[in-house]
């Protein structure tokens, strides 16, 4: 359906419950005047207004404000020509000339918050035909080793988070096509704000207009880097303060955990696989072969001792047997394994046989006991109302491949349907202590399941055999 103006499109989106319906509505109305510009103001994080609280104002039944006036106001705020009380006064004056519906949407743009209708930058880009799927290199599994061509390198496989840093023409960390924040992005193209503290160390490289393909790791210990990734460093005492003003016990627990996280941060490093030309990466046409890129990297890092950024180790090999022997050597040392890379392979944006990984194998898919849980983040429906409390992560206890009892979280799998998450949050006591069957890709060197999934719940009468 085609709507009359940009406000009527947004009002219609409030009534849409599915993502596909939202995309269809935006596609049908993409030529509506001011709609795209409004969405830019609302979602582009490079346009900031410097306003935290909306000042008091009174709406009118006979609105006289125009979108051109709103654009002028946004320009004044984003360039900081208006700040402080002057900015608040200008906002109040503008909103006082709006009716209640238009003022609501203008405020949402100033607050950069369209969660009330479930719109974000990626969905908008997809609807307007601007979406570009992020792609990066990947390696085939070990059963493809016979297809590898030699000579090759056995490059150490790092146990951490794969990320990509974009740099600008001055060598500073930059935003990118897939996310407008100046942060690293993961393999899916989503920004990872957890690693913002590494930006100064990455910028020490001073590589200009590049994409740095790397792994963020902490002493090759997956559990520590996962703890860092999952911890919210932005929480304040207000998050732990009740309506009566009493500070809850969780605040002190948070502070204690924060000290542990700071220690992990102090040991976290960036391990570089590739430094690629940005234009070639985005066009998916990296011209140099692997050995040419590796030679340039080794020359670049030669005689340099960056504090937190290191080149990943690699060893030349001549055949499959040497590749397996090097992987087994590293695994005995507690490392994850190797990625075998053909010297004359291109940087592939789809998996091919020029990169093959050899890594630790999972000993089994363990039975796990549910010993705790974490709620999900607050989620809102299309009308801005919060959904009921839901399960976010199960805390599981299990026996790992080293015959040790460990605990870790899990938030995916066949069992964890929306209904199960709702039921669990209502009555967690019915599930704590129960046994679930889980699967994982492998165990990390410290015995945690990598990519765990909860498959199903065993009957209540099944006794705990974890201990």
Summarised one tens digit per residue, pLDDT across range 304-362 is 999 999 999 999 999 999 999 999 999 888 788 999 999 999 999 988 899 999 987 65
CATH class held by domain 139-359: alpha beta
Strand partners, 397: 369, 407
Measured CA distances, 50 to 96, 182, 255, 354 (Å): 20, 18, 29, 49
CATH topology of domain 367-457: OB fold (Dihydrolipoamide Acetyltransferase, E2P) (2.40.50)
Q: Inform me whether the pLDDT recorded for 223 exceeds 90.
A: no
User: What is the longest distance spanned by two Cα atoms in the chain?
Assistant: 81
- Nearest CA to 200 out of 277, 309, 46 is that of 309
- Domain 367-457 in the same topology as domain 139-359: no
Task: Give residue 384's pLDDT.
Answer: 53
- Side-chain-facing half-sphere of 310: CA atoms under 13 Å: 16
Environment class of 370 (CB within 10 Å of its CB; exposed 0-12, middle 13-18, buried 19+): buried
**3 vs 174: CA distance, rounded Å:** 37
Q: What is the DSSP string of 4-63?
A: SSHHHHHHHHTT--SHHHHHHHHHHTTTSTTHHHHHHHHH-TTS----SSPPP----SS-
What integer pLDDT is reported at residue 382 of this predicted model? 46
In DSSP terms, 276 is beta-bridged to 211
Task: Give the start-to-end residue ranges of the domains of the chain.
Answer: 6-127, 139-359, 367-457
CA-closest candidate to residue 442, choices 355, 336, 312, 330: 336
Dump pLDDT digits (tens) for 151-196: 999 999 998 899 999 999 999 999 887 777 899 998 878 788 899 9
- pLDDT reported for residue 378: 63
Beta bridge partners of 393: 374
The per-residue pLDDT for 386 is 63
- Sign of the Cα torsion 294, 295, 301, 302 reads positive
Contact between 99 and 66 under an 8 Å Cβ cutoff? The reply is no
Paired tokens of 99: 């009716």
Q: How confident is the model at residue 399 (pLDDT cuts 50, 70, 90)?
A: confident
268 beta partners: 218
Tell if the pTM clears 0.75, that is, is over it.
Answer: no
Specify which residues 247 forms β-bridges with: 241
According to DSSP, residue 435 is labeled E
Q: Where are the beta strands (DSSP E) in 88-228?
A: 139-140, 152-157, 161-167, 173-174, 210-218
Q: What is the SS3 assignment for 298?
A: helix
Residue 185 is classified by DSSP as B
Q: CA nearest 86: which of 76, 95, 96?
A: 76
pLDDT digits (tens, 9 = 90+) for 41-82: 998 766 889 887 899 999 998 899 899 999 999 999 988 899
Query: 387 and 377 in contact (C-beta within 8 Å)?
Result: no
């Amino acid at each position: 359906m085609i709507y009359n103006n940009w406000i009527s499109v947004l009002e219609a989106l409030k009534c849409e419950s599915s993502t596909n319906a939202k995309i269809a509505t935006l596609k049908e109305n993409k030529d509506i005047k001011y709609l795209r510009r409004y969405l830019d103001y609302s979602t582009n994080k490079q346009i900031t207004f410097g306003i935290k609280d909306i000042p008091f104002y009174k709406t009118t039944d006979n609105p006289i404000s125009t979108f051109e006036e709103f654009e002028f106001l946004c320009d004044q705020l984003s360039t900081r020509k208006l700040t402080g009380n002057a900015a608040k006064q200008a906002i109040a004056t503008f909103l006082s000339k709006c009716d209640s519906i238009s003022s609501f949407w203008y405020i949402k743009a100033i607050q950069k918050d369209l969660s009330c209708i479930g719109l974000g930058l990626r969905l908008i880009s997809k609807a307007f035909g601007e979406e570009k799927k992020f792609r990066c290199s990947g390696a085939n599994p070990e059963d493809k080793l016979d297809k590898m061509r030699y000579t090759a390198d056995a490059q150490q496989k790092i146990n951490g988070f794969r990320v990509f840093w974009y740099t600008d023409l001055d060598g500073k960390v930059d935003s990118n096509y897939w996310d407008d924040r100046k942060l690293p992005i993961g393999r899916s193209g989503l920004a990872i704000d957890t690693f913002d503290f590494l930006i100064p160390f990455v910028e020490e490289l001073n590589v200009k207009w590049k994409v740095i393909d790397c792994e963020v790791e902490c002493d090759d210990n997956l559990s520590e880097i996962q703890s860092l990734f999952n911890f919210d460093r932005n929480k304040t005492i207000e998050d732990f303060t009740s309506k009566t003003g009493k500070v809850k016990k969780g605040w002190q627990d948070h502070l204690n955990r924060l000290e542990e996280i700071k220690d992990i941060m102090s040991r976290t490093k960036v391990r570089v696989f590739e430094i690629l030309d940005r234009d070639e990466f985005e066009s998916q046409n990296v011209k140099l072969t692997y050995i040419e890129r590796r030679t340039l990297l080794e020359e670049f890092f030669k005689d340099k001792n960056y504090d937190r950024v290191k080149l990943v180790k690699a060893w030349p090999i001549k055949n499959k047997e040497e590749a397996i022997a090097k992987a087994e050597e590293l695994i005995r040392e507690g490392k994850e394994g190797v990625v075998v890379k053909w010297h004359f392979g291109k940087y592939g944006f789809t998996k091919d046989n020029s990169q093959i990984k050899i890594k630790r194998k999972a000993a089994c898919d363990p039975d796990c006991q549910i010993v705790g849980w974490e709620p999900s983040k607050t989620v809102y429906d299309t009308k801005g109302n919060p959904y009921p409390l839901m399960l976010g992560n199960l805390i599981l206890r299990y026996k790992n491949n080293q015959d040790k009892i460990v605990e870790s979280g899990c938030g995916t799998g066949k069992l964890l349907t929306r209904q199960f998450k709702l039921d669990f949050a209502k009555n967690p006591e019915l599930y704590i202590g129960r046994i679930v069957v889980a699967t994982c890709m492998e165990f990390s060197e410290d015995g945690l399941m990598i990519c765990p999934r909860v498959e199903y719940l065993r009957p209540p009468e099944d006794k705990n055999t974890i201990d």
